[in-house]
Structure 1
Amino acid sequence: MPRRIVLHAGFHKTGTTSVQQTLRENRVALKQHVALRLRWHMPELIHATRGYSTWRDPLTLIKVQDRFETLMEDLPGMPRRTLVISAEELAGHLPGRGDLDDYSAAPVLLYAMWEIMSSRFPAAEIVIYLSTRSADAWLASAYWEHVKASGMTLGFDDFRARYHKAAALEDMVSDIASRVPCRVQSAALEDCRDLPLGPADPLLDLCDLPLSLRSGLTSVLAANPRLGVDVLQEMLHVNRTHDGAEARNAAKKAILERARAL
């Protein structure tokens, strides 16, 4: 049984990939103190959480619960260790996908996970950790992620006008804290820039690692740096002028390859 469970459930575009890469890079050093379950350990669960954020139907929520139960059942013995579960998709899809306007599915999803964890490990302390970011920076990052990874054709001003409520991440942290009966903590990406391990440091603070171990952990380069504006504008043009996902993806792949060769 873990002594503590830290559920890092988002939000997207707040340094979560860098956190997960830091944990993965240091997994051997952390193994004695921390058990890790990262996004690539739970593809079926993530598929269900994304689905629930889109449809909000009882059947998909049951799938989330069943798959999270399976994740718990498959854990190894970990006496006195901290279990860290980290995947931004546990809060659902990135807002802006289809008709998804915000993170309002997150409190429901996290309550369902808390209920399962507290039932299975009643003696373990449960902490929900949420990484955040300033609204303007989040909107810009989310917008260009959609331009790069989907067929987004909206201009940025229209995107910002439609999805500005989704960028109020601190408000969503407060909403989750009011609805899930466990400790909820958060840290802003902007406050992590000068930390030795960047956005991974606030999460590792929750693991009570020995100072000697903490000081020897390896940092990683920032993941998913934003492409140049000219490259992103080219991709937006592709989304607006190419019909079909296959044609769009091929054109954007060529743009990326050309940009990386410079």
Structure 2
Amino acid sequence: MAAEQTAAMRIIIHPGFHKTGTTTVQKTLRANREALRPRCRIILRPGMVALCEAARAYSISRSQTDLAMIQYEAAALADGWAARGKDIVISSEDLAGHMPGRRGLTSYDATPRIMKALVQSFAAAAPDAEQVLYFTTRAAAPWLRSCYVQHLRATRITQDADEYATEMAGSANLDQIVAQVAEAVPDIRVIAQPLEACNTPLGPLAPLLDLLHIDTSTLTPRAPDNTAPPQGKIDAMLAMNRSALSDADWRVAKDTLKREDF
């Protein structure tokens, strides 16, 4: 019986992308953890901080040392999975690396190599498990807009939304990155799920759980999280970024605006 459970084990990896409904997926998984516990083990960023940080570090450095750290942390995370035999759901956009627009990155071009390192380590730990890479994607224009607002929330970016979209247009071809991932891991099933096609209450989580044949009708949905603030607050943050405020005063002003649901 144990051998049959191990053979049937699935590992579903949801590595992003950023701003494609990932926060809502993760908060819905967390809210329904008890209901899902008999069917699968859920691993979110707090349960794999070192692995997420290794992936982010590699997306910047592209060093063999950081790649080896991904493999090491993935192996440590997966230790014992085969023995327990329970399906695994992993979700964090940080597994794809840093969001384009941060640290000089202009695309997710490190993601295929990160995914190859991940699945190789998981395969070594649970050789009979079926692995699936499940990416959520989004149309270019709304994705660029959402990324811009996220940068505006976190950094002292001074471009307006149109300037950002023009400069970063090349980063928005998420389907191309998914295709490159599929080439990097030809033996692994790779899925791209457009956010716009997720019209059920559970949004992009529903097709993920369908992969495990889980009845989602009993789960509690959540309203979309991390949505864009009103245009007035976006304009106020941009003006603040462009102001002569010192960095210290800017951080105080930014924190004040964020407490007002920016």
TM-score (norm 2): 0.92
Count of paired positions = 255
SS class of match (1:83): strand
Q: Equivalent of 1:37, from 18, 34, 43?
A: 43
SS class of match (1:203): helix
| Contact 1:131/1:186, CA 8 A, preserved across alignment | yes
| Contact 2:11/2:130, CA 8 A, preserved across alignment | yes
1:178 aligns with 2:180: no
SS class of match (1:215): helix
Structure 2 residue aligned with 1:53: 59
Structure 2 residue aligned with 1:167: 172
114-123 or 9-18, larger mean C-alpha shift: 114-123
Percent identity over paired residues: 37
- CA distance in 1 between partners of 2:68 and 2:233 (Å): 41
Structure 2 residue aligned with 1:89: 94
| Contact 1:39/1:86, CA 8 A, preserved across alignment | yes
Structure 1 residue aligned with 2:109: 104
6-15 or 228-237, larger mean C-alpha shift: 228-237
SS class of match (2:136): strand
Cα shift at 1:22: 0.8
Structure 1 residue aligned with 2:235: 233
Aligned 1:1-262 pairs, distance under 5 A: 1=6, 3-73=9-79, 77-79=83-85, 81-181=86-186, 182-192=188-198, 194-209=199-214, 211=215, 214-242=216-244, 245-258=247-260
SS class of match (1:94): coil
| Contact 2:81/2:126, CA 8 A, preserved across alignment | no
- CA distance in 1 between partners of 2:135 and 2:239 (Å): 34
Structure 1 residue aligned with 2:3: none
- CA distance in 2 between partners of 1:245 and 1:170 (Å): 37
Letter in 1 for 2:84: M
SS class of match (1:250): helix
- CA distance in 2 between partners of 1:28 and 1:166 (Å): 37
- CA distance in 2 between partners of 1:98 and 1:197 (Å): 33
TM-score (norm 1): 0.92
| Contact 2:80/2:125, CA 8 A, preserved across alignment | no
> Structure 2 vs 1, CA of residues 42 and 259 (structure 1 numbering), >3 Å: closer, same or farther?
closer
> Structure 2 vs 1, CA of residues 115 and 242 (structure 1 numbering), >3 Å: closer, same or farther?
farther
Structure 2 runs not aligned, ≥5 long: 1-5
Structure 1 runs not aligned, ≥5 long: none
- CA distance in 1 between partners of 2:45 and 2:179 (Å): 24
Letter in 1 for 2:190: V
> Structure 2 vs 1, CA of residues 247 and 185 (structure 1 numbering), >3 Å: closer, same or farther?
same
Deviations 1:58-95 (A, max 9, x none): 1111111111111112659532x320111001000010
96-105 or 152-161, larger mean C-alpha shift: 152-161
- CA distance in 2 between partners of 1:37 and 1:111 (Å): 19
Cα shift at 1:247: 2.5
